[in-house]
Copies of this chain bind each other. A is one copy, B any other.
Amino acid sequence: MAKQILRINMSALKATYEPIPEKWVRWGGRGLTSAIVFDEVDPTCHPLGPNNKLVIAPGWVSGSPAAPSSGRTSFGGKSPLTGGIKEANSGGLSSQKIAKLGLAAIILEGMPKDGKWYEIFINKDGVQFEDAADLVGKGMYEVDKLMWAKYSNKPAVIGIGPVGEMKLSNAGVSVNDPENEPGRYAGRGGLGAVMGARGVKVMVVDDTGGPGVELANKELFTEGRKKLTAAIQAHDLTKKDGGLWTFGTNVLMNIINEAGGLPTRGFSSGQFEGAAKISGEAVVENIEARGGVGTKHHACHPGCIMQCSSIYPHEDGTAFVSVIEYETSWSLGANCGIDDIEYIAQATWECNDIGLDTIEAGNAIAIAMEGGYLEFGDKAGALKTFDDIRQGTPMGRIMGQGTEATAKALGVFRVPTVKGQAMPAYEPRAIKGIGVTYATTPMGADHTSGYTIAPEIAGVGGKVDPLDNTDKAGLSLTFQAATAFIDSTGYCLFIAFPILDIAEGWAGMAESVAGVTGIEMTGDDVISIGKEILKMERLFNEAAGFTSADDRLPEFMREEELPPHNVKWTMSNEDLDQVYAWVHEEA
């Protein structure tokens, strides 16, 4: 059975199943969300108005048997945070279940005329709309539990916390994990507010009895996934007992700190004296000491063989939070001058519960510290901001919007954002390539859009000097294009590490996609297909009003030297503008 598009119109409270139009048939994941947003969303619409849409798409290979680490779900729309196109993807249960229901994408559009909140249940029999009044105001930990109690078969739960209900621009979309915890987030860019503006508190997806995913060429698929699996299992970063396997993404804390690229106390230094105390090593030490349900090897979705996630336990061994990513430990920790991993665990839990992107949330707290509302290092004050946000107090509504809004409210001009979105855990003055990605990606400052950290710090995919500007524009573009492709596959982006170093893995990725979809492609097509996606995204942003002036890092990084290397951001505008010049040059 050919896949379908499920269109859920909240104005009419009506769901329709549509065949995939020819123009979308070759896309999956991010490629598909961006194509649909490009085709159906007016770039000048208000992100919270009736004409924006939330598009949800599993990747090309999601739900196919034994594709390794292929549980990413792409969420797309016009971002309330950046005003541009947004794709944010998440692990958790949703990708495979949506795919197995035979759906290429779900398009959530319109607004309920009655102003009510809705719970949407999707299974093989169709779509049910239920009044969600009893869920309003609840955090995602409780919502997930309620949904599994109400519905059988351990369904995927896609939901928003109070932040999304308030339509604040740092609202993420939560997806539950195999333990039914809500910590998997399509976090960046405020898509939770786009979901909230549709009047949808939660979507529950049960794939039981669904048609599953057909393979166009089983032999090719099997060959491809085996190559990819072998590469993952061979690479130092992703193999069993490798860095990600052992310490999770937070293996980076000490490494980036050592490189002088760890943004500290509101991007005022590149090194944090407390880095070790909030590193992956510290997390694992506590997990091992405390035991109980804590584990350092946890899969955020079924079939993940990298298992970079973990479950952090309370001292008594009961579950605390999953997962303390590197970005999270940095944003809530180092960037706020806080070196207490217990605080970070608690703050992460709060973000997961109320529905905040942790990167943006930590940056907003750091701005509140820079602006004098809090002091750097003030854990109690920072925790109180989560209460404020949960309750929707005015300060909570400021901080729930993220970094720029907090800066504007407090008159702060050192604002580490691009296109309105806060920077992640890599200082662009000390690691130039990631700065090019921050500046130029259609997504706003985002490391996952073109992770040049691989060659600049980790020695993956080559080795280049992080402090050198040379060739970083081209490097970033290559990574951005490869990423747009990987984000379309349903595979976790971390397959990039092995496939950058192991050519068979790269080829295997493309072959597995071709095997599932029947679309002819090889590893040689990855970059060009990725660039097609980037082009749609850039053209959407241009129509929304973006120009080269939006492809710049903030002024203060061009003016202030960053210790310990005492470096400014010195990339020329010409180099930055070169990254996407091809969009209008190529026919």
Contacts and interface: CB of A to CB of B under 8 A. Distances in A.
A51 B408 contact: no
A555 interface: yes
Interface string A46-73: 1111110000000000000000000000
Nearest to A409: B397
Contacts of A45: 555
Interface residues of A, number: 46
Nearest to A42: B555
Given A394-B394, A408-B405, A48 B166 contact: no
A319 interface: no
Given A397-B410, A413-B49, A549 B44 contact: yes
A168 B411 contact: yes
Contacts of A196: 411
Contact of A398 (B80, B394, B415): B394
A51 B558 CA distance: 12
Majority-rule SS of A interface residues: loop
Given A394-B395, A398-B394, A411 B545 contact: no
A573 B347 CA distance: 46
Nearest to A573: B44
B394 A169 contact: no
Contacts of A552: 44
A388 to B, nearest CB: 8
Interface in A225-271: none
Contact of A401 (B46, B409, B554, B556): B409
A570 interface: no
A193 interface: yes
A374 interface: no
A413 B51 CA distance: 11
A401 B397 contact: no
Nearest to A171: B411
Contacts of A555: 42, 44-46, 49, 51
Given A394-B394, A405-B405, A43 B415 contact: no
A94 to B, nearest CB: 25
Nearest to A554: B46
Contacts of A531: none
A343 interface: no
A379 B412 CA distance: 32
Interface string A469-505: 0000000000000000000000000000000000000
A526 B3 CA distance: 64
Contacts of A411: 48, 166-168, 193, 196-197
Given A168-B411, A556-B46, A397 B398 contact: yes
Interface in A72-108: 80
Interface string A191-216: 00100110000000000000000000
Contacts of A166: 411
A16 interface: no
Given A411-B193, A413-B49, A43 B394 contact: no
Interface string A311-328: 000000000000000000
A281 interface: no
B549 A545 contact: yes
Nearest to A400: B409
Contact of A547 (B42, B80, B545): B545
A548 B545 CA distance: 7
Contacts of A43: 549
A575 interface: no
Interface in A494-518: none
Contacts of A548: 545
16 contacts: A42-B555, A43-B549, A44-B555, A46-B415, A80-B408, A167-B411, A193-B411, A196-B411, A394-B395, A397-B409, A398-B398, A401-B409, A405-B409, A544-B549, A545-B545, A545-B549
